[in-house]
């Protein structure tokens, strides 16, 4: 057989496989439609029994995390597990959109890493709605205008996003998930801009901080300006010849900018973690984390007393942050994050103990650990 015939034969095989995949995808989508009918049926039955039917929850983060974790585990290649999981991420997103198109508020404008995080977590079947502030994201979800929200919570180089933590103090919302995103910054300008013409470098203050050493070494003379987001910086760079923006790939594409320099972040493992916020609690997935806010009386050993139940219960803490309590001067609240689910008996026992010794205990929710 000639090379030409070989190529033809393999392409025919690909065409056949594509047909089969397409049939299977649509079979899967019909199953998702049946799941939606069952969920609506359950709500109808509750109403018939005179019970509060509540809001039908189509999106099930615990189930999605289990599906994705299984795909990663059983993948035999040659495609890398992460790439296969992304394909299934989009497949589930499209299936869910048949059940109910989700509206997801995120800290915008378009082109921010928070938008990239929202798409990574929910896939492109979700309708992502940009908000100018973190408060705006919380309000959209609290009012029911959006089903979920995505906000940044911590960066591996720059630490926590205190505004997000503070917002949980007054909000009735729960945490429904976490997203981790590798953050890569570039120095971006409008097409045709000469580097010598740049007089101002704009970015969100976190991005400026994450690239501080690089900017000090390469652009020491140029003024830096912190703006509300990297997306906003990119928008400014697109409109003004002398402005360069520090921003990522999405912003570069969104505003059609050129890269003067790529990968300028000081740390190669620069990662930002985002939280998904929603109105409903999430069922256990088997690999969960829980977040709580806790505050105790200001006395010696108070923090030790709050943490000791975790040690005795054999529960690993994954994070602890301190914030001023906004009700009393020099009093503090702790944001504690740990492995396990509020429905686990050992976790419930720890919370009962904390309740006895704290002046404030607010569970923020349990959610599946990030799979992708």
Ligand X SMILES: O=C(O)C(=O)C[C@]1(C(=O)O)C=C[C@@H](O)C=C1
Q: Are 63 and 39 in contact (CB under 8 A)?
A: no
Instruction: Answer yes or no whether residue 32 interacts with ligand X by CB under 6 A.
Output: yes
Nearer to ligand X, 60 or 185 (CB): 60
Helices assigned H by DSSP within 148-300: 162-170, 205-210, 212-218, 230-239, 249-254
Which segments of 49-173 does DSSP mark as H helices, in order?
Answer: 61-74, 81-99, 113-122, 134-142, 162-170
Among 85, 92, 126, 276, binds ligand X (CB under 6 A): 92
Q: Which residue is nearest to ligand X (CB)?
A: 95
Q: Which of 65, 69, 99, 290 binds ligand X (CB under 6 A)?
A: 99
Cβ within 8 Å of residue 170, ≥6 positions away: none
Which residues are registered as beta bridge partners of 313?
Answer: none
67/331 with CB nearer ligand X: 67
User: Coil, strand or helix: which one is 39?
Assistant: helix
Beta bridge partners of 152: 274
Stretch that binds ligand X, among 55-63, 203-211, 313-321, 355-363 (CB under 6 A): 55-63
61 vs 71: CA distance, rounded Å:
15
From the list 46-54, 62-70, 146-154, 279-287, the region that binds ligand X by CB under 6 A is: 62-70
Q: Which of 122, 274, 310, 335 is catalytic?
A: 274
Beta carbon nearer to ligand X, 35 or 360: 35
Residue 62 touches ligand X, criterion: CB under 6 A: no
Q: Is 272 an annotated catalytic residue?
A: yes
Our answer to whether residue 133 is catalytic in this structure is no
Whole-number Å distance between alpha carbons of 117 and 126: 12
Size of the site for ligand X (CB under 6 A): 12
* Minimum gap (Å) between residue 117 Cβ and ligand X: 17
What are 271's strand-pairing partners?
182
> What is the footprint of ligand X within residues 103-162 (CB under 6 A)?
none
Q: Which residues are catalytic?
A: 272, 274
* Interface with ligand X (CB under 6 A): 32, 35, 58-60, 63-64, 67, 92, 95-96, 99
């Amino acid at each position: 057989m000639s090379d030409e015939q070989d190529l033809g034969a393999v392409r025919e095989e690909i065409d056949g496989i594509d047909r089969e995949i397409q049939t299977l995808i649509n079979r899967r989508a019909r199953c998702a439609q049946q799941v939606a009918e069952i969920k609506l049926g359950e709500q109808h039955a509750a109403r018939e029994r005179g019970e509060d039917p509540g809001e039908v929850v189509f999106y099930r983060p615990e189930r999605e995390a289990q599906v994705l974790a299984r795909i990663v585990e059983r993948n035999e290649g040659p495609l890398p597990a992460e790439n296969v999981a992304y394909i299934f991420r989009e497949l589930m997103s499209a299936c869910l959109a048949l059940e109910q198109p989700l509206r997801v508020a995120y800290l915008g404008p378009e082109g921010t890493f928070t938008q990239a995080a929202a798409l990574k977590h929910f896939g492109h079947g979700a309708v992502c709605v940009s908000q100018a502030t973190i408060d705006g994201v919380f309000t959209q979800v609290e009012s029911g205008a959006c089903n979920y929200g995505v906000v940044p919570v911590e960066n591996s180089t720059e630490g926590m996003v205190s505004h997000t933590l503070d917002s949980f103090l007054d909000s009735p919302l729960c945490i429904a998930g976490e997203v981790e995103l590798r953050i890569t910054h570039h120095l971006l300008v409008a097409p045709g801009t000469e580097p010598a013409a740049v007089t101002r470098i704009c970015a969100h203050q976190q991005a400026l901080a994450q690239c501080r050493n690089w900017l000090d070494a390469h652009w020491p003379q140029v003024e830096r300006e912190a703006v509300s987001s990297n997306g906003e910086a990119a928008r400014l760079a697109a409109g003004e010849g002398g402005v360069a923006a520090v921003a990522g790939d999405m912003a570069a594409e969104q505003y059609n900018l050129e890269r003067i320099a790529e990968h300028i972040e000081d740390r190669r493992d620069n990662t930002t973690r985002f939280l998904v916020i929603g109105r409903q609690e999430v069922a256990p997935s088997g690999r969960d984390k829980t977040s709580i806010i806790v505050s105790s009386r200001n006395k010696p050993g108070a923090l030790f007393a709050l943490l000791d139940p975790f040690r005795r219960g054999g529960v690993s803490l994954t994070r602890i942050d301190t914030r001023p309590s906004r009700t009393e001067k020099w009093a503090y609240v702790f944001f504690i994050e740990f492995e396990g689910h509020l429905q686990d008996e050992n976790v419930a026992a720890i919370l009962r103990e904390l309740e006895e010794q704290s002046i404030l205990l607010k569970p923020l929710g349990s959610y599946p650990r990030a799979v992708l």
